[in-house]
Amino acid sequence: MKKFLTFPLIIMLLLTLTCCAKPYNFYKESDLDSVTISIIEIKGYIKSTYQNDVLREDAFNENSYTTLKLVNNTAKIVKDIKALQCSRPPFGDRLTKITGKGVLINYPDGTIEIITDNGSAVINATSVTINTISFNTNDFNKLLNTYLES
C-alpha cells in the first residue's frame, strides 16, 4: 500500500517543482547588448503563421502591432525583466496566440522576440515559436508603465 501511495506523491512533487517561478530566459542572451527594444500593443494576436514551411499571408509584420515607446536603456529593461519571476506550466493547455501589451526585442539577425504577461513568441524567417509562460500580471504591467511614463 505504501508503494501505491508513494509513486503518485513523487509524481506530484516533480510536477510542482517544474512549474516553480524562475527568471525569464531570453532567446539569445549573448546578443542582448546589440538589440533594440520597444514597448508595443499587439493588434489582434500572434499565431503560428507558417504552413508547410510557407509563410502565410496573415504573417506577423509591422502592421500586427503598434509601437508605444522605444526603450533607450536596453540593459536596464533586460535586467528588470529578468528580475520578474515567471513560470512555465508543465501540463495543461498550451498557448497558441499572444495578445495585449508587451516588449518587442529586435535581434541583429532579424529575429524578433515578443514578451507579454502570459506568453512569448520568437519569430524569424522560417518559424514562429510561441511559449506558454506566466508573469504576475500586475508586476509585468507595472514594469511596462514605468517605461511608458519615463
Domain borders along the chain are: 22-149
pLDDT at position 126: 75
pTM of the complete model:
0.75
Instruction: Judge whether residue 91 has pLDDT over 70.
Output: no
Summarised one tens digit per residue, pLDDT across range 13-71 is 444 444 455 667 777 777 788 899 999 998 766 565 545 544 444 556 677 889 999 99
| E strand intervals along the chain | 22-23, 36-47, 50-51, 54-55, 65-71, 85-87, 97-106, 112-116, 119-123, 128-132, 134-135
How big is the chain, counted in residues? 150
pLDDT at position 94: 58
Summarised one tens digit per residue, pLDDT across range 100-114 is 899 999 999 888 889
The proportion of the chain whose per-residue pLDDT surpasses 70, expressed as a percent, equals: 67
